[in-house]
Amino acid sequence: MHEGRLIPAAIVLSHAEQLDRLADGCPQALPLAHVAGDPCLDQLTSGRAFRETYRRALGLLPGQRLVVVSSTWGPGSILGSPRAHILRRALAELPADEFRILAAIHPNAWYGHGAWQIRTWLAPFLDSGLLLPSPETETWKAALCAADFLMGDAGSLTLYGVELGIPAILGAFQDSVIAPGSPMREVGGILPRLHPTRPLLDQLTHAARTQPNDPELAALRGSVTSEPGRSAALLRRLLYGRLNLPEPAHPAATRAIPVPSLSSPYARRQPHLPALLVTAEVSEAEAGSAVSLRRFPGGLQGTLSGHLVGAHLAADPDDPDPRWPRSAEVLVLPRERCPRPAEAKWSDFAGRFPGCELVALEDDDRGCTVLFADDTRLRVNWLDRPEWADFTVAASAVHAWARCAGAGDGLPVSEVRLTVTAGDGMPPALCGLAP
């Protein structure tokens, strides 16, 4: 209303319950109201059939889980609130081989601050593998279809996630700005809030275990629209009617969500290998030993406590930040910077990196040559290598095994097999060690 006059020619609502709220707030507008569904939810619902297509396009490997962190705009959003550390926490606490993190940021935030500023603020997270879709794309929709978990706020993506049945927790939620009686207010009362000290993985696991059978969430699903699957037809009828034109003869159809492209201007790739803190457990297996690894970005950690107890540091000797290679127990060097690993010696590294216990030099087949301080030299080759495993994984697995077996202390080494795992969902890898 402006000076007593209705401004819009039509008001489009997604759910019939919104008619009551419109009647309370502006009864004069009721004759202009049309319940026409939600085109985004219709796309998301139909897009679930293409979940695996979207996951592959986003670069997820078999067994990896995708966490979507959605942030609306304003001070009550995830990025605008005192809890803006949530992205750092997700990347720091969730094992890097098992999880990918995607930030879905509201276009208002992008255009309010500018792409350069958003990209600069998030640069450390991009360096640690954060996926950051461009605001002009529909990648956020594909990501929701592909997601295993959602961390949200009072933005619409959280409500869409509930509709899709994605296990979710609230990273921020400003109750005071949410309309009483609205589905979003109900979401704020049902979904768990992010706990500041409880391990994040435990919170996500709890959500995945309890929310599928939660009766309150089940009752809330269906609150986004009272016309599921019909928005294309209803919107077309409304718009052609306003134009006094006949509708086309063919049926109106929901448009498919495009397959996302990874060629984003916001992607970053450093020339050196990332510094990783690695926890490892070694046990006996039917053939050889089993090593369970979990790897975390070094640059995003606070203290070596909690999920990092007993971790070793793996780093690139040429990393321009000297704190990583100088402190690393494991040094990893790709083949392009060490094309003849057979000629390398422990003494080439010992003087510069006194804390190093193992050096791994990549070979042609993504295996590696491993050097120990006593000049023990092992050749590590993959017998069964899933996509997530590379020579840096082999290096950390051998380091953990060597600590248990004493292979770096002059003990004789015969051919050994290591089964390497990273969490429960990732396919295991098998490598062989030989002198």
199-246: per-residue pLDDT in tens?
999 999 999 999 999 999 999 998 999 999 999 999 999 999 999 999
Residues in the chain: 435
> What is the overall mean pLDDT for the chain?
91
- Phi, psi at 127, each rounded to 5°: -65, -25
Whole-number Å distance between alpha carbons of 71 and 85:
12
Q: Which helix (H) or strand (E) holds 419?
A: strand 416-421
Confidence band of 161 (pLDDT split at 50, 70, 90): very high
Least confident of 93-97, 361-365, 387-391: 361-365
Per-residue pLDDT reduced to its tens digit, 24-78: 888 998 999 999 999 999 999 999 999 999 999 999 999 999 999 999 998 889 9
Which of 43-47, 143-147, 300-304 comes out lowest in average pLDDT?
A: 300-304
CA-CA-CA-CA torsion sign (232, 238, 242, 245): positive
Task: Check pLDDT > 50 for residue 17.
Answer: yes
pLDDT at 435: 87
CA distance 64 to 55: 9
